[in-house]
Amino acid sequence: MRKSASRPRTTGSNMKFKNDSFKKNRGGYSRWLFLSCEKCKEPLFIYQKDGPGILKRLYIDRISSEIACEDLNCKKCGILLGVPIVYKKEGRPAIRLFPGSVEKKIIQESQMKNILP
Ligand SMILES: [Zn+2]
């Protein structure tokens, strides 16, 4: 098997919700959110949102693409969308989003392959 080092291969067909204690601690249910840059509408990635509440931070392990835990910039317009943090309660790397920096849309699993590049 050859490893492809380029794009992360996260197509809709093989994406499944992660079920772990983080999810359980948030009520045990999840949704998929399609995130894009609020300013220029550039698609960013798909995110597994666990539990209720607004999206304040993105946990790295819930992001569909492999991203580094560093400043999150829009690839297209370059705007800074969030900064890396560690969510202390769980010792979990995350990106703290700036309010209003990303656009969120709830999507179904069947829609994913049409969205991701
Ligand atoms: Zn942008």
CATH value at residue 47 = 2.170.150
User: 15 or 104, which is more confident?
Assistant: 104
Is the residue at 80 inside a domain? yes
The predicted structure's pLDDT at residue 66: 84
How far apart are the C-alpha atoms of 68 and 70, rounded to whole Å? 6
Is the residue at 11 inside a domain? no
pLDDT digits (tens, 9 = 90+) for 20-52: 999 999 999 999 999 999 999 999 999 999 999
Position of tokens 């809709």?
12
74 C-alpha to ligand 1 centroid (Å): 5
Is the residue at 61 inside a domain? yes
Q: What is the pTM of this model?
A: 0.84
22 C-alpha to ligand 1 centroid (Å): 30
* Number of domains the chain contains: 1
The predicted structure's pLDDT at residue 97: 97
Is the residue at 23 inside a domain? no
33 C-alpha to ligand 1 centroid (Å): 17
Residues 6 or more apart whose Cβ sits within 8 Å of residue 96: 56, 57, 82, 83, 84, 85
Is the residue at 35 inside a domain? yes
45 C-alpha to ligand 1 centroid (Å): 13
Instruction: Provide the residue range defining the domain that includes 48.
Output: 30-115
Is the residue at 17 inside a domain? no
Mean pLDDT of the chain: 88
pLDDT digits (tens, 9 = 90+) for 50-76: 999 999 999 999 998 888 889 999 999
β-strands 92-97, 57-59: how paired?
A: antiparallel
Residues 6 or more apart whose Cβ sits within 8 Å of residue 32: 15, 46, 47, 48, 49, 106, 107, 108, 109, 112
